[in-house]
Structure 1
Amino acid sequence: MTAPTQYASVRYLVDDVGTAVDFYTTHLGFTLHTSAAPAFADVVRGPLRLLLSGPASSGARATPTDVATAGRNRIHLVVDDLDVEIDRLRRGGVSFRSEVVSGPGGRQILLTDPAGNLIELFQPARRLAAGATATS
């Protein structure tokens, strides 16, 4: 079992490891941790270690057919100002898979990496301090 002080890791299968590393480090604030490109690299942001497995990696071996289709799973990155991030990413040539969605917990938008893996940018709703009112 992973110790609480270690990274939480998520594996994404990608078509091109170098392109994926460039995307995550340029647009989403990750830093390169290790690289064995073109087969594999991992990038980190805070406690998240994203494993980028190319076609030649062992992580890209055949997935059982009952789980081979892409799901709705995604990494979830919290941002301070969603509108600022959307503008910055659009200027960087990133396109989005959804419009901004607002709900009681906050606002979110979906984008994909170059291999089509989903990423959610999420801005939490502002919470009132205990005992405060909306007019405070």
Structure 2
Amino acid sequence: MTATEQHASVRYVVDDVPAALDFYTTHLGFTVGLNAVPAFAEVMRGPLRLLLSGPTSSGARATPEDARGAGRNRIHLIVDDLDAEIDRLRVAGLPLRSDLVAGPGGRQVLLADPAGNLVELFQPAAR
């Protein structure tokens, strides 16, 4: 297998593409990629290419019934100041899906996009 792109791509199945597009671009610093249509949108943040597939997109239709649901998988975004990010998201009215968790590698908190897909905000421990 050869890599032809300089991005890692992740697909999230979402219920409402415009709502997901707004969530990622407004609150998490993503920019719109090449594709943004009613059934599908592509957003980018650094080397991450996030594919937002609505119910009528081919990506959503290809998901077997027994594989649907958010599970524990999530994208992992590194932030410089987790406390400031938590405050900013709360002011924007976004509910967090976990308490702040601290461990030897750093601190993290989870939030969910409008379709329930998890996003982990992570601040590495000072070295």
C-alpha RMSD of matched pairs (Å): 1.5
Cα offset, 1:5, TM superposition = 5.2
Classify 1:2/1:102 alpha carbon distance in 2 versus 1 (closer, same or farther; 3 Å).
farther
Q: Summarize the Cα distance change of 1:107–1:2 in structure 2 as closer, same or farther, 3 Å threshold.
A: farther
- Write out the 4+ residue segments of structure 1 that deviate beyond 3 Å after TM superposition: none
Matched, 1:123 2:126: no
Please identify the structure whose Cα radius of gyration is greater.
1
% identical aligned pairs: 74
Task: List runs of 5+ in structure 1 lacking aligned partners.
Answer: 128-136
Quick check: 1:38–1:56 contact (8 Å CA) kept in 2?
no
Number of equivalenced pairs = 127
Separation of aligned partners in 1, 2:31 and 2:22:
10
The amino acid that maps onto 1:124 is P
Q: How far did residue 85 of structure 1 move?
A: 0.4
Task: Report the Cα distance in structure 2 between the residues aligned to 1:70 and 1:51, rounded to whole angstroms.
Answer: 15
What is the deviation of 1:93? 1.2
Q: Secondary structure at the match of 1:18?
A: helix
Residue deviations 1:16-59, cap 9 Å, x none? 11110000000000000033421101000000000000011000
Matched ranges for 1:4-83 at <5 A: 6-83=6-83
